[in-house]
Amino acid sequence: MEPILQTKDLTISFGGHTAVQGVNLTVHPHEFKSIIGPNGAGKTTLFNLISGQLKPTQGEIYLKGEEITGLSPIRRTGKGIGRSFQITNIFPNLTVLENVRLAVQIEKGIRYNPIRHFRHYKEVEEKAYHVLERVLLENKAHSLAKNLAHGEKRKLEIGMLLALERDLLLLDEPTAGMSLEEVPAILQLIRNIKEERNRTILLIEHKMDMVLDLSDSLAVLFHGQLLADGVPEAIMENEDVQKAYLGGMASGTATTG
């Protein structure tokens, strides 16, 4: 089976600092892979390279066998990449429903017509409500997005990604800034997406219990290099990984950064 995503010798340097160095990463269709590593390991930088926010110093990126290294973030989105950020990326002064409806319109290629009332677009409206049901926000449909709790904003952002129908989802610390009470709902939402097995997910996350529970495979970055890549059990037992940053992970004492 052809990988959905491959990076070949992916490298980026800022001045004299190499943030990502020679990373060869392979992600298969419908795989759930988590990128882990200590603070400063290059995890978010790698996401920025894959999604097009940054251009590599050298190396190549392939999506479904097509090289996308030189494409803009918008072009990459059109090719099938959806991205969430550490900071929520929603339209705060629109309602929850309007946020999702815009994503549906983009996915369907429907241009906004100020003369025509949105209720004429019945299919768009129905799909937007369906997405809100999936992310457990149907009761907040007519609330302004800025009035949502932080965890609800995360749900909305994921809902917008689902509405875009992208093949590859990059989730960058989806539980960042959440209270302990908010985390289980996001965890269940991501688990539901995984169990559908119709999308590929790349996750950056600090919570190792969540990573181990969800992931089919783990890729470990250390000083910008890919230290190890494999099933969670093998990664947890990898001596190089333990020496590099996991430390007491085997006994449940370490966390990612």
Break the chain into its structural domains and give their ranges.
1-71+197-257
pLDDT tens-digit readout, 87-138: 677 999 999 999 999 999 888 887 655 445 556 578 898 999 999 999 999 9
Residue-wise over 151-188: b if at least 16 C-beta within 10 A, else e?
bbbbbbbbbbbbbbbbbbbbbbbbbbebeeebbebbbe
| pLDDT for res 159 | 94
- Measure Cα distances from 151 to 63, 155, 163 in Å: 31, 6, 18
- Going by C-alpha positions, the residue among 165, 160, 168 that lies closest to residue 61 is 168
Cα dihedral value 223, 228, 229, 234, nearest 10? -140
- Going by C-alpha positions, the residue among 226, 241, 216 that lies closest to residue 59 is 226
- Sign of the dihedral through C-alpha 210, 212, 218, 222: positive
Contacts of 241 (CB under 8 A, 6+ apart): 220, 227, 228, 235
pLDDT tens-digit readout, 54-96: 999 999 999 999 999 999 999 999 999 999 876 677 999 999 9
Confidence bin at 247 (pLDDT 50/70/90):
low
Three-class DSSP category at 204: strand
Threshold 0.85, pTM exceeds: yes
pLDDT tens-digit readout, 184-236: 999 999 999 999 999 999 999 988 899 999 999 999 999 999 999 999 999 98
| pLDDT for res 242 | 86
CATH of domain 1-71+197-257: 3.40.50.300
